[in-house]
Amino acid sequence: MNIWIKDLSFSYPNFTLKVKDLSFEGEKITSIVGPNGAGKSTLLKCIGMINPVSKGSIFINGKDISEIKGTKRAQLIAYVPQEQTSIFNFSIIDFVLLGRTPYLNFLSKPSHKDIERAEEALRFVGIKNWKGRGILEISSGERRLVLIARTIVQEPEIFLLDEPTSFLDPKHEFEIMELIKNLSKKMGKTVILTLHNLELAVKYSDNLIFMKEGEIIGSGKTSDILNEDILEKVYDLKMKIVEIDGKKIILR
Partner 1 sequence: MNGRLNKRKIAFIFIFFLPLFLGLISLLIGSYPIGIKDVIKTLLSIFSSNNEIPDVYRDIILKIRLPRIILALFVGASLSVSGASLQALFRNPLVNEYILGISSGAAFGASLSIVFFGKNFPVEISSFIFAFIAFFSVLLISKGTGSDIISLLLTGVIVSTFFTALLTLVEFLASPYSLQSLFFWLMGSLSVAGWREVGYSLPFMLAGILVLSLYGWRMNILSLGDEEARALGLNVKLEKIIIMLTTTLVTSSAISSAGIIGWIGLIIPHISRMIFGVENSVVIPASALIGASFLLIADDFSRGIASFEIPVGIFTSLIGIPFFIYFLKRSGKIWS
Q: Which residues bind partner 1 (CB under 8 A)?
A: 45, 48-50, 70-75, 77-79, 81, 84-91, 94, 98-99, 101-102, 104, 107-110, 131-132, 134, 136-137, 154
Give the end-to-end CA distance of the chain in Å, rounded to a whole number: 36
Between residues 107 and 251, which has the closer beta carbon with respect to partner 1? 107
Task: Using DSSP, state whether 65 is helix, strand or coil.
Answer: helix
Q: How far is the CB of 70 from partner 1 (least distance, A)?
A: 5
Q: Computed from CA positions of residues 119, 121, 123, 128, in that sequence, does the dihedral angle turn out positive or negative?
A: negative
Task: Using DSSP, state whether 110 is helix, strand or coil.
Answer: coil
Q: How far is the CB of 132 from partner 1 (least distance, A)?
A: 4
Between residues 80 and 200, which has the closer beta carbon with respect to partner 1? 80
State how far the Cα of 132 lies from the Cα of 94, in Å rounded to an integer: 11
HSE-CB of 193 using CA atoms within 13 angstroms? 30
Between residues 9 and 91, which has the closer beta carbon with respect to partner 1? 91
Between residues 45 and 212, which has the closer beta carbon with respect to partner 1? 45
- 92, β-bridge pairs: none
Helix H or strand E encompassing 201: helix 198-204
Q: How far is the CB of 50 from partner 1 (least distance, A)?
A: 5
Are 38 and 209 within 8 A, CB to CB?
no
Between residues 148 and 234, which has the closer beta carbon with respect to partner 1? 148
